[in-house]
Structure 1
Amino acid sequence: MTYVVTAHRWERGWELHIADDQGAEVGVTQARSLTGAEVMVRDYLALDDRDDQAPVEIRPVFDPATDRRIAEARA
């Protein structure tokens, strides 16, 4: 089991939408930074009686301008 987390930026940090590897929604939590996102997700999983030691994949969602800058930097 791997948890897939889609991270959406908002004014106070990141909203973290957690799903299992089958795409089923598990829940939503928040983190001030992406650096702290995994810890917040694991805390959420532990409180929900789920495997908080399972792999977690965090996928940030950026606005189009940021996506372009990322693509340019990678090129």
Structure 2
Amino acid sequence: MALYEVRARKWENGWELRVPDVGVTWSPTLGDAPARAREFISAQLDREERTVHVDLQPHVSEELDQLAVEARRALHIADEAVRTASAKLREIVQGLSAAGLPLPDVAQYLGVPQQRLEELLRD
């Protein structure tokens, strides 16, 4: 298997896909870009498509690219915080339930909607 860096740059007709040492193709959407790049690389290099992996690197502008990196980083941090909070809530709900509190009282005690607690317990 081979990994190819694919630099995607927005232009009026979609996305230009530049593959160093291979060539340039395009995709109408960013969502289609990985498949288009794989097809292009495999055709240019006479490789089976399943052996081609792409590292898609989209580019719009320096400012927007930097904002996208910051947004993805913030989302990752937020997702991690939600996972941590969910684990702590499951632990405290189990403890409070074991102490004899019914779920409506647990929800009131924690200030969390009962429906959310039920979802956490199902997960």
Whether TM exceeds 0.5 here: the answer is yes
How many residues align? The count is 70
Task: Supply the RMSD in Å over aligned alpha carbons.
Answer: 1.7
Query: Paired residue for 1:55, among 39, 53, 56?
Result: 53
Runs of 4+ with >3 A deviation: none
Instruction: Return the TM-score normalized by structure 2.
Output: 0.50
Larger relative helix fraction: 2
Gaps of 5+ in 2: 75-123
Amino-acid identity (%): 36
Are the counterparts in 2 of residues 45 and 51 from structure 1 also a CA contact under 8 Å? no
Match of 2:49, SS state, is coil
* AA at the equivalent of 2:6: V
Residue 2 of structure 1, CA deviation: 0.7
What are the residue-to-residue correspondences of 1:1-75 with 2, within 5 Å? Answer: 1-19=2-20, 25-48=21-44, 49-53=46-50, 54-73=52-71, 74-75=73-74
Larger relative strand fraction: 1
Gaps of 5+ in 1: 20-24
Query: How far apart, in 1, do the equivalents of 2:63 and 2:13 lie?
Result: 20
Match of 1:35, SS state, is coil
Instruction: Return the TM-score normalized by structure 1.
Output: 0.76
